[in-house]
Structure 1
Amino acid sequence: MLTSNLFQNSVEFPQKGDINTSANPSASEDDLQITEGTILGDHHVVEAFLGEGGFGLVTRCRDTKNNKTVAIKVNKSDPEILLQAKLEIFILEQLRRLDPDRCNIVEWNDYFLDGQRICLNFELLDQSLWDYIGDRNNRGLPMRELRPILHQLANALFHLGSVGIVHADLKPGNIMVVNRSESPVKVKLIDFGLACPASAVIPGDRVGTTGYCAPELMLGIPYHEAIDMWSLGLVAVELATGVPLYPGEDDYDVLKFIIETQGQLPDHLLESGLYTDCYFIEDNYNKHATLLLFKLQLKWPVLVQRFT
């Protein structure tokens, strides 16, 4: 987790008197009782719900001050989520140096408080690439559509790297189509809730989504912007074929797919991983790591001990 000194040069964050970050039942049991017509803050009327996650909800709102329609990410008032929202604001502040249209990154307008919840105000976009592919019955996109999309995503990652930011959760669900009726389709990268400065990465910090993570994340190896390029490669395959390259219900499945298709990971990576022992055992005869039945170890540890 990033430390508070990262915020010294950022926006003025709400003080503890404004947002209660202590562990208490009301904060940890926030069920976000929001309906259409609810007013967030002073002047954002909820018109529809766009998505939800562990953090809270994403809503479509109308700003009654200027009658503009925007997307509002409503974070729960749970202390850990509050801290994560502050970290996301720090990242978004760094991204203000970039032109959102030229850099293919969602435009962030500001943040405001709704009671003890932090709400992030973004431009309203059309639909995610995940939904865009689904509308085509997961058949994949033709090259004339695929090429400009990948070019835009590579452009977004280039500009993130220029300001030293790792997105850490690149996937079709975090890529938005600006307007599906336009051709070629324009896309923007969204959701910086897991992003961090490359200089502040903590080895062993597990981020990202199963199926799109680089091996470094699964093994607890120090990482940098390159993990986003790994994810982009997986997104490219999924856009072309309509199905994920590495399906799996957990990291073990994904790592197994990677090794079966690309071969054993280099020894220097295995030796530097904090979690290598969770997935691999070393063959003392040839000093080569082999994949361990980690699922079996989790479910029946006594049985595994008998045969290892």
Structure 2
Amino acid sequence: MCTTTQYELCEEIGRGRFGTIYRCFDITTNEIYACKIINKTVLTDSTDRECLQNEPKYMTLLSPHPNILQIYDVSQDDDVLTIVMELCQPLTLFDKIFQNTLSEPQSASVMVQLISAINHCHRLGVAHRDLKPDNILFDSMGILKLGDFGSAEWFSEEKMMSGIVGTPYYVAPEILMGREYDEKVDVWSCGVILYMMLVGIPPFYGDDAVQIFEAVVRGNLRFPSRLFRSVSSSAKDLLRNMICKDASRRFSAQQVLMHPWILSRGETS
């Protein structure tokens, strides 16, 4: 049950790991939003509870940014957490990739928006740490909106991050190796997302999570000719600099934004 009388719930439009998402409208303005309702009583894991508190905290801090999902209202009681946020299209970037690979200009358009959001986060000292196509949404105008900040963490030059978080296929090798790490783990994940947009499969894979993680730790980036025959050398150069096992040599988000392929919006001569 919604914990505020300002919003009226409509139909269910999705289910996430922690709760159900409904379309709703503000009865005072008739504006349409999405409303995520989480039943806190079913959460027994302390990590899950921390994720729930992280999401509204970080998303509020990072707003407004044109490519970060905006939160409009948060309320909770002992049993329920309610987050009112902007309404997006039902299809995520994962759905778009599953339907078909994207052209280089289409991929560049997505990457410019995603990296702009990540660069904004990093400038404020926040790392997302769970970037994947499933967390990348689009509003009614097709503008990218980054969501799901449940695994986000503070970092600084004096404070590295630690802990194994993320999702198979997209997680950076230094996380899996148990080392302290910096915000460039997000750039690795963005590189994997770009690879998938261009050719439809991840660069590192296996039959199960263990095999996937082993492939990620090896970090042997390849460009099979049957898949990359029509992909430009500039796009492959950017991928090498993003999916770079040596984090000290890996591009920062700002460097990605300055790469020729990004500046040309994927238009190759």
Q: Please give the TM-score of this superposition, normalised by the length of structure 2.
A: 0.72
Distance (Å, rounded) in 1 between the aligned partners of 2:145 and 2:179: 29
Distance (Å, rounded) in 1 between the aligned partners of 2:88 and 2:210: 31
Distance (Å, rounded) in 1 between the aligned partners of 2:96 and 2:176: 29
State the partner residue of 2:195. Answer: 237
State the partner residue of 1:256. Answer: 215
Tell me the alpha carbon deviations over residues 198-221 of structure 1, each in whole angstroms, 9 at most, x when there is no partner: 146652x22111110001111211
For residue 130 of structure 1, report the CA deviation from its aligned partner.
1.1
For residue 43 of structure 1, report the CA deviation from its aligned partner.
3.6
Q: Which has the higher contact order (CA 8 A, sep 6+)?
A: 2
Q: Is the 8 A contact 2:196 2:202 kept in 1?
A: yes
Tell me the alpha carbon deviations over residues 126-149 of structure 1, each in whole angstroms, 9 at most, x when there is no partner: 131112223xx3x30112211111
Distance (Å, rounded) in 2 between the aligned partners of 1:210 and 1:51: 23
State the partner residue of 2:179. Answer: 221
The number of equivalent residue pairs is 218
Q: Please give the TM-score of this superposition, normalised by the length of structure 1.
A: 0.63
Structure 2 unpaired stretches of 5+: 223-244, 247-269
Q: Is the 8 A contact 2:88 2:137 kept in 1?
A: yes
**2:190 counterpart letter in structure 1:** L
What does residue range 74-85 of structure 1 map to in structure 2 within 5 Å? Answer: 74-77=37-40, 78=43, 80=46, 81-85=48-52
Structure 1 residues 224 and 76, CA, compared in 2 at 3 Å: closer, same or farther?
Answer: farther
Q: Is the 8 A contact 1:218 1:251 kept in 2?
A: no
For residue 114 of structure 1, report the CA deviation from its aligned partner.
5.9
Same amino acid, percent of matched pairs: 27
Q: Secondary structure at the match of 2:202?
A: coil
For residue 187 of structure 1, report the CA deviation from its aligned partner.
0.9
What does residue range 41-190 of structure 1 map to in structure 2 within 5 Å? Answer: 41-77=4-40, 78=43, 80=46, 81-96=48-63, 99-101=64-66, 104-113=67-76, 116-126=79-89, 127-134=91-98, 137=99, 139-179=100-140, 182=141, 185-190=142-147
Q: Would you identify which runs of 4 or more consecutive aligned residues in structure 1 move more than 4 Å? A: 199-202
Bigger mean CA offset, 188-197 vs 70-79: 70-79
Q: Secondary structure at the match of 1:168?
A: coil
Structure with larger Rg: 1
Residue 208 in structure 1 maps to residue 166 in structure 2: yes
Structure 1 residues 246 and 46, CA, compared in 2 at 3 Å: closer, same or farther?
Answer: farther
Q: Secondary structure at the match of 1:124?
A: coil
Q: Is the 8 A contact 2:12 2:23 kept in 1?
A: yes
